[in-house]
Structure 1
Amino acid sequence: LFLETLVSTGLPWYPTPTGEFRIWIKLRATKMEGGTGKYYYYLPNVPYVMYFQNSDVPGWRGYGLHGTYWHNDFGTQRSHGCVNLPTEIAKELYYWTSPVLPEGKSTVYADEGNLGTKIVIHE
């Protein structure tokens, strides 16, 4: 076990997928936008993003682990499916996981020689 922390996962109508996944891309920061109506969100510069996928949940679906600057309500369901982490925890996890980020870069994709870390998400 690398770390243990409270997180915020998907709301009941935007559940976080469960199962075994691999991180397929890491971004130092990115914009996240989506939802509709009262569930619309626009979040610039979301920090320490680690998108994950498996054979049932393709990467284009946009599920990830990431830092969270817009709330501090961990331990509750708050997201549109991502795993919201305290930013300092996300930073620690970001630099611990693979694919390994090359020096001077802010984005890295997993490949045959730089596989993404396996993560397990459960209820």
Structure 2
Amino acid sequence: DEEIEPLSPDVPPGEKRIEISRAMQTLKAYEGNQIVFETQVSTGIPDPDIPPKGRNTPPGKWRVYSKMPTKHMGNVDLTGAPDVYTLPGVPWTMFFHELHTGVAMHGAYWHDNYGVPMSHGCVNIKPDEAKWLFRWTTPVWPPQDWRWWERTGYGTVVIVT
């Protein structure tokens, strides 16, 4: 499907990287040393009352390891805690932190407050911009094969500072 065909497939995967600045609330995509995409994002909310580091987006060098066109997200538990949330159909999800931590870059349809920390650790991006990143990052989503709801693999470098 043309709508999700990879962008810049001729660029070697090792030449692509994403840099996210928590201080500036920005995301920049590079091909080599050239910025090919830049936008405002909303990273995690630093909260000293929640150990060990609140909901801050974790700093470090990671790789996209899993991509899904849509993902149901939330932290629903049975305790009825005031912090419970559920978000169906989160678009253009790209997990990049350690396996099973749930930290991802994705579209955010529930707010329009980019440039301000808003999340529980993920990187919120405008949905149309998240779609661009989804198409640009590796692992490549196989548009001809919708049987796979998730693509995993050694993907695009993500550096969070």
Runs of 4+ in 1 over 3 A off after TM superposition: none
Deviation at 1:2, TM superposition (A): 2.6
Name which of 9, 30, 40 aligns with 1:6.
40
Q: Which amino acid aligns with 1:77?
A: P
1:70 aligned residue: 110
Instruction: Structure 1 unaligned segments of length 5 or more: list them.
Output: none
Partner Cα separation in structure 1 for residue 94 and residue 66 of structure 2: 6
Which TM-score applies when normalising by structure 2? 0.67
Higher strand proportion: 1
1:50 aligned residue: 94
Q: Which amino acid aligns with 1:64?
A: A
Partner Cα separation in structure 2 for residue 40 and residue 78 of structure 1: 15
Name which of 11, 34, 39 aligns with 2:75.
34
Name which of 104, 108, 118 aligns with 2:151.
108
Deviation at 1:107, TM superposition (A): 1.9
Secondary structure, aligned partner of 2:40: coil
Name which of 95, 107, 120 aligns with 2:159.
120
Deviation at 1:40, TM superposition (A): 1.4
Spell out, residue by residue over 1:33-87, the C-alpha distance to the aligned partner (whole angstroms, 9 max, x if none).
116633211000000000013xxxx211110000000000101111000000000
Q: Which amino acid aligns with 2:58?
A: P
1:82 aligned residue: 122
Secondary structure, aligned partner of 1:11: coil
Partner Cα separation in structure 2 for residue 76 and residue 37 of structure 1: 24
Secondary structure, aligned partner of 2:130: helix
Q: How many residues align?
A: 114
Deviation at 1:3, TM superposition (A): 1.2
1:25 aligned residue: 66
Identity, % of aligned positions: 38
Which has the higher Rg, Structure 1 or Structure 2?
2
